[in-house]
Amino acid sequence: MTWEHNMATGVGLYGMQHGIAFIGENGTLLLNRQGWEVKPEKDKLEALPWSKSVDNGLDKHAANFIDVVKSRKMQDLNCPFDAGAKVAIASHFGNVALRAGEKIYWDETKNKFNIEKANQLVRPVYHNGWKLPIV
């Protein structure tokens, strides 16, 4: 897993100004807030042409979150916090493995990776003696 990010470069990969490309062995799923499409790898998948989004999911997601903050009714939340946490953790683990240059394994009981090089990437190193305040 790798993450690449750039902004203000005009047209990016696959001719898109922004979005996500999930690249697999059989094809690539391209998507952004305006729609999605599937580009097959050779003849392994059927190409699915660009399909426009039918609504603005981000607005609905944000409105739902604000409604739940106001009502404090967690059961009404459409996307639980732990779902976002799992996505963020998987992304960060991929970045840590890439930077460590090795396969990494997480030991949940020790709350650490199996190699020290990876553990050193978990916490930031601040400059000029600055420390994160303890609240």
- Numbers of helices and strands, H then E, in the chain: 3, 6
Residues 17-63 have pLDDT tens digits of 888 888 888 999 999 888 999 999 888 888 999 999 888 888 999 99
Domains of the chain, by residue range, sit at 13-52, 79-119
Cα 75–chain centre separation: 24
What does the alpha-carbon distance between residue 133 and residue 48 come to, in Å, rounded to a whole number?
A: 50
Residues 57-79 have pLDDT tens digits of 889 999 999 999 999 999 999 98
* Over residues 109-128, mean pLDDT: 90
CB atoms within 10 A of CB 97: 19
| Best CA proximity match to 62, nearest among 50, 54, 70 | 70
